[in-house]
Structure 1
Amino acid sequence: MFITARSVLLALEVLSATVSVPIVNLGYARYQGSVDTATNITSFLGIRYAAPPVGGLRWAAPQPPLTVSGVQQATTQPNECNQAVIGNSPTNPFESTSLRKRAISQSEDCLFLNVYTPGSEMVATSAGGLPVVVWIHGGGYTEGAISEFNGADLIIESSYGVIAVLLQYRLGLFGFLPGEAVKEGGALNAGLLDQNYALQWVQTYISSFGGDPTKVTIWGESAGAGSVIQHIVAHGGNTQPPLFRTAMTSSTASRPQYNYNDRIPEMLYSEVVNGTNCASSSDTLSCLRAADVNTLQTLNYNINVNDFFGMFAFVPVVDGTFISERPTVTIRKGRLNGNYLLAVTNSHEGVTFVNQSMTLDVADYVKTLFPNFGPAQVAGAVALYQNYGSNVNQASLVIGESIIVCPTYYLLLGFGERAWKGEFAIPPGLHGNDIPYYFTSYGYTPGDITPSWTSWQHDLTEMKFNKTFAGAPDVHTFKTDSALLERCAYWLSVSAYSAQ
């Protein structure tokens, strides 16, 4: 039998005829996705969920997208939000001090999300639709984009049992500019409001993709997990109507969260104003809105890269509205958004955020990390870690536990018997090492393991995910270290000073 060019074309025509290319009508726009016939997963890339936050909408709450006619092709990754990098003062071995070339264009016009569905047609089940998992990317509220992740991975790992939504939000200076002037003339925590708006979008539109809006799980890693905390405590832990049922955190990052008009946020706002020559303006925020985006982006990058090593300059603040108080205060009250929590930390969270080659004094490090600490708070923290190896190792434990590990346990206490805890310990177990095990397009192939897993409150039991020297999965339970919980109790006792 001979295969001719004509027979190949006919075969392709038959194949294309059997695989419908879905179009979803959202009212304000119609989007046509694409079907991956190899995986039988449909993707809708670059769906606009809010108007471009430019001009007068810069540092404003997200607004509805404009209505557009015709069918919009949702087949390419959207612009990513303007990027910066982790602080590297005095030195940073991980980043260059020049803007990196990236495959995706950066833009202020970046409020997009990607939706992935199993199959080639969005057909709701008799039970009302598939559960939905919403992924919030990390990057210190300063960098990251949805183009870095393939939502199809989550569908495959769930045996085609979920719909995946990946969202973008304003970052850095554009998403988290603090200060009294922003409170009066704009929107504080614009990046968090973007996320909240995207979650509202899910409630309104996900049924059009075959999803059930009553079965939404929000999940993030690092600053994405920190964002999950923000939504758990939003509106004093009582967001109505509810936007999600379950929360998942991977390496929760709960950095100092000052009141919007505290000393440090106002210093940051002044630095932005001075850097754009707006200091003499009678309305500095309007002046900033009129500033050239490239000027702002250069400032955004420089302020972040010159921040203390391992830290990020632009992060959420207590705005008095969406976030009414420090997260630990709300968490201790026990009134929280969401019904269930699954939390995972990595075994060596802090190493990435400390210059491992730097000679440092632990007391100076603690004071620099938490500038509102007085001598008593610094001394207390230093005493906790004085028997834990070198000064660099102590510093790694300080930042890893105070900002990532301990806030996770605060959440576990807040959710009580409705919370489960895991630890990712596959060597080296650094911050972010677990991501390729969620998004397997990065090349890892996790085992299909479903262990019996009790809630954390039940005897402080956690699940450890490791592997043997031979590479076989090693998954087993263990009990949380009591000494770690004692250190976490100390960090909670000084949270008014650490602004957590």
Structure 2
Amino acid sequence: MYSLLRAFAAVAVFLTVQVDAAALSTVKLDYGTFTGVTDTTTGIIYFRGIRYADAPVGALRWRAPVTPPTTKLGNVSATNFGAQCIATSQSAVTPSTSEDCLFGNVYVPINTTAKSALPILVYFHGGGFEGGSSNGFPPEHLLQPSTKPLIFVTFNYRLGQFGFLGGTPVHQHGVGNAGLLDQRAGLVWLQRYARSFGGDPRRVTIWGESAGAGSTMFHLVAQGGINGNTLFHQAMVSDSPSLSFLPYYNDAFTENLFSQFAGFVGCSGTSSAIMACLRNAPVDTLASAGSRVLANRTSSFYPFAPITDGRYLIERPVEAFRAGRFARVPVLFGSNTNEGAGWCGGLPNPAANTKSPNATETNIYNCIAGQFSTFTQESFQKAVELYPLADYANTIDLQGQQMYGEMRYICSAVMITGAAKNFGLKSFQYHWDNPNLSSNHGAELVAFFNDRTFEPEDQAVVDAMRQYFTSFVTSGSPVADNSVAWTRSANKDGSPRILLHPGNVTMEKITDALSARCAFWHGISKELKN
């Protein structure tokens, strides 16, 4: 019987790990020797595709990850990325994807030694918990602008039906939220091996965007905050922690999703028989079944997502942050102006699509209910009063955009930074607003992972943002040359926050109207199950 205790027991075990101090491009761990790529032009050593856990295949499907790997790997060329995890949208495995995908990447400044003890920044990618990978996030615009050196790390984690399948059979014969446990396993791995790469395991900041930002939030509240100051010591996002629907593992939504998936695979019978069948099924069959589930959910964005499993996620975020049951670490969270743009207007179901011809407010309700199946018409009517159509140029799509963007993303940053402040922690909030580079969900990532040339006003914002974020990692306070001082949160809504706007980087207050709308959404958290 596999368990979380079995999977993570290794974190308590101390083993001496050999390091070649003269040539950190080769690192000897107790299960393999990894040789990276030293690039004197960028000033970075790149370790790519490092296996951090056993392949989650066969009997290890829907089990907690096993880290460190149990197989001795010998000499490994860490020059190429590992396989990406299979996305829910895939109907079959592709050459670049695999079920065997638990790999990480470590990026180290070129002059680092085994005794450098550098702070570490860990990034969890977005993709709605159903897509994406750690491979598309180059380190140059983080490591090079930082006034103090740091190490940048990314991890793959299981996605969709492989990483976020719930239901009673999974609960009885495996684990829910396997993808989150993969991320945690990466943090366990890092505590064990950070010094091998010249890092300090006592100075780890976790970071993410979208689903990765949601992951950061979930690790803050997991098991009442157990991870804080053990596996990480600060948390930040870029942008928008996703305050998603978190049904229990045995709620009707979760059970129905499991049954539909298992049915498409062709598995039936008792719980143990179904799980045995799923673990023996060809991986292409599992991929096809997941994509078929997705195709049948025309009003939903990401049906496979974290759940309240009663083991790792024992409490939903709104409840946990309100009560102070979260990791007591400094936080830096924020959001973009147009977080809700493009979501409801892109759904396949015309009844839930806010850009459908003759769309009404019912389309908005259907869109939100497609993500939060317990959302009631009564609550929606109260929301309409807070978001009157006339405030949005009498445009249904814009009205729905603002509702969805605030309820799921913007108000999450408000809540987390406010809660951190209320419990005496250092807390910083930002607001990305850029009409040139876009203010939509995820638009600010251009500041960190894009090589494009910016206009002077945008370049100033990008330069400041890079320094703010990296200085938070290295010093605990976001500071940027030639920019304003970023003031800590002082109120229960995380106000003030820094406005990152071209030509106008300044501190701003959260408006009373936004506070009231956020209070409404969080006031119905039991209904929304978030």
What TM-score, normalized to structure 2? Answer: 0.83
Q: Distance in 1 between matches of 2:335 and 2:63?
A: 34
1:285 is the counterpart of 2:284: no
Give the alignment partner of residue 403 of structure 1, picking from 405, 408, 411: 408
User: Aligned match of 1:438 in 448, 451, 454?
Assistant: 448
Number of matched pairs: 461
Q: Structure 1, unaligned stretches of length 5 or more?
A: 1-18, 86-97, 468-472
Alignment of 1:159-308 (within 5 A): 159=147, 161-239=149-227, 242-249=230-237, 250-280=239-269, 283-308=273-298
CA distance in 2, matches of 1:411, 1:205: 30
- The answer (yes or no) to whether the contact 1:237–1:330 under 8 Å persists in 2 is no
Taking the TM superposition and a 5 Å limit, the aligned residue runs for 1:41-120 are 41-64=44-67, 65-85=69-89, 105-120=96-111
Among 495, 498, 523, the alignment partner of 1:463 is 498
Q: Is the 8 A contact 1:256 1:499 kept in 2?
A: yes
| Compared CA separation, residues 21 and 447, structure 1 to 2 (3 A) | closer
Tell me which amino acid in the other structure corresponds to 1:82. I
- Bigger mean CA deviation after superposition, 40-49 or 437-446: 437-446
Rounded Cα–Cα distance in structure 2 between residues aligned with 1:441 and 1:200? 32
Q: In the aligned structure 2, how far is the partner of 1:494 from the partner of 1:21? A: 52
Select between 32-41 and 276-285 the one with higher mean Cα deviation.
276-285
Tell me the distance in 1 between the aligned counterparts of 2:158 and 2:403: 29
What is the letter of the counterpart of residue 113 of structure 1?
A: G
TM-score by length of 1: 0.88
Which runs of structure 2 are paired with 1:117-136 in the superposition (5 Å)?
Answer: 117-125=108-116, 129-136=117-124
Deviations 1:330-357 (A, max 9, x none): 1111132141110120010001212163
Alignment of 1:327-342 (within 5 A): 327-342=317-332
Superposed CA offset, 1:349-389 (max 9, x none): 00121216324332453252432123322221222212432
Query: CA distance change for structure 1 residues 202 and 21 in 2, over 3 Å: closer, same or farther?
Result: closer
Q: Deviations over 1:459-488 (max 9, x none)?
A: 821111111xxxxx4311111121011011
- The secondary structure found in structure 1 opposite 2:196 is helix
Alignment correspondent of 2:355: 357
Q: For 1:362-381, what aligned pairs fall within 5 Å after superposition?
A: 362-367=361-366, 368-369=369-370, 370-381=372-383
Compute the displacement of 1:101 (Å): 11
Unmatched tracts of structure 2, length 5 or more? 1-21, 346-353, 465-479
RMSD: 2.1
Instruction: Give me the whole-angstrom Cα distance separating, in 2, the residues matched to 1:443 and 1:255.
Output: 35
Specify which of 447, 452, 463 is matched with residue 463 of structure 2.
447
Cα distance in 2 between the residues matched to 1:301 and 1:122:
46
| Aligned 1:304-323 pairs, distance under 5 A | 304-309=294-299, 311-323=301-313
Task: Describe how 1:488-499 pairs up with structure 2 within 5 A.
Answer: 488-499=518-529
- What is the distance in 2 between the residues matched to 1:261 and 1:99? 27
- Cα distance in 2 for partners of 1:148, 1:240 equals 27
1:100 & 1:453 partners in 2: Cα distance? 47
Query: Residue by residue, what CA displacement relative to the aligned partner does 1:292-322 show, whole Å, maximum 9, x if unpaired?
Result: 1101111222322443456201000001111
Task: Quote the offset at 1:37 in angstroms.
Answer: 1.2
- Could you say what secondary structure the match of 2:203 adopts? strand
Residue 432 (structure 1) shift: 1.0
Structure 1 pair 322/163, CA: closer, same or farther in 2 (3 Å)? same
**Number of the residue aligned with 1:391:** 396
